[in-house]
Structure 1
Amino acid sequence: MADVRLHVVLHEPEIAANTGAIGRTCVAVGARLWLVRPLGFHLDERSLRRAGLDYWEHLDYRVVDRLQDAALAIGPDRLWSFSTKGQVAHTEAAFAPGDGLVFGPESRGLPPSWLGERPGRTLRIPMRPEARSLNLANAASIAVYECIRQIGFE
């Protein structure tokens, strides 16, 4: 996977519009999108067209059955998980080309077992306490562009 500059991994995404927006961001920066089943929507051509995802043909994406499948393909030591439970701000991470940014489903975030296995690789996006969390597409965009800022844009 060294030829891929950046990976974005969505674990069990629930909302097609969020995934579509993240997919568009991936196209914009040349990142590979990983979708981990189950998905809360369909990826057939009709559904994509109806959702207005006319750029989907330009998206480099993979669909896998388990989060561990993406981790093994990318490299477990290359993954950065994003969670409101993270102790390190996303701007404090030292991203490198080929890294993967992992996000959980909109309603519940990443599984505690996943986060517990990699506490030093769990990041948060700072926000005021009044905001429980950010929209998944917004959080992914913030993370992707911080990573791209650090590794450079081709």
Structure 2
Amino acid sequence: MPPDHAAPLLTLALYQPDIPQNAGTILRMCACLRLRAAIIEPAGFPVSDRHFRRAGMDYLSHVDIARHSSWAAFETWRRESGGRLILLSTKASLAYTSFSFALGDILLVGRESAGAPEEVHAAADARLVIPLETSMRSLNVAVAAAMVAGEAMRQIRLNGMA
């Protein structure tokens, strides 16, 4: 991240993303909102993918991206960082608006095609859901990430943590 920026409020982590446009959009949001990003490999596309680059535009050079070769590597990094792991999942029961976010939290979104596996669910400090109409399956992962990151940032700023 460029040195003229203050420390990020949160980290937004992508678990094995498989749609380059969504990953690029999320990373662009991270750059614009001063969020750190983490990508847990393997991704379903190369970082040179034109769709990824187009969605991220020239913002990608402005985001602090930690790349992790595996879930185990990410977990090692997370334990060292001390951040709580907050998983966004359609399988969770706690609404994101009912959760108390804190500075340093790591918001994790699963794969667009398959979500997050059980080992990721088991490692999470909290699992949150965005309540939807009962006949609807899920939101686009970039939209869900933006909604929850916005609420987390609102709470952190409201509570004077940033």
Shared fold, TM over 0.5: yes
Matched position secondary structure for 1:122: strand
Q: Distance in 1 between matches of 2:8 and 2:74?
A: 13
Question: Is the 1:48–1:54 contact (alpha carbons within 8 Å) kept by the matching residues of 2?
Answer: no
Greater alpha carbon shift after TM alignment, 62-71 vs 34-43: 62-71
Q: How far is 1:113 from its partner?
A: 2.6
Return 5+ residue gaps in structure 2 as ranges.
1-6
Partner of 1:129: 134
Q: Verify: 1:70 aligned to 2:65, yes or no.
A: no
Change (3 A) 1:31 1:129: same
Matched position secondary structure for 1:17: helix
Q: Which amino acid aligns with 1:64?
A: H
Instruction: Return the TM-score normalized by structure 1.
Output: 0.87
Partner of 2:146: 141
Q: How many aligned residue pairs are there? A: 151
Partner of 2:157: 152
Q: Verify: 1:41 aligned to 2:45, yes or no.
A: yes
Q: How far is 1:116 from its partner?
A: 3.2
Partner of 2:12: 8
Partner of 1:17: 21
Matched position secondary structure for 2:74: helix
Name which of 86, 91, 106 aligns with 1:85: 91
Give a deviation string over 1:24-57, Cα, whole Å, max 9, x none. 1111110111001111111138775455622111
Matched position secondary structure for 1:53: helix
Q: Distance in 2 between matches of 1:44 and 1:108?
A: 23
Q: Distance in 2 between matches of 1:123 and 1:16?
A: 24
Matched position secondary structure for 2:58: coil
Return 5+ residue gaps in structure 1 as ranges.
none
Give identity over the alignment, percent.
Answer: 35
Greater alpha carbon shift after TM alignment, 38-47 vs 131-140: 38-47
Question: Is the 1:9–1:70 contact (alpha carbons within 8 Å) kept by the matching residues of 2?
Answer: no
Q: Distance in 1 between matches of 2:22 and 2:53?
A: 15
Q: Distance in 1 between matches of 2:119 and 2:64?
A: 28
Q: Verify: 1:112 aligned to 2:118, yes or no.
A: yes
Q: Distance in 2 between matches of 1:44 and 1:28?
A: 21
Give a deviation string over 1:60-98, Cα, whole Å, max 9, x none. 101101234333323466110010010100011111111
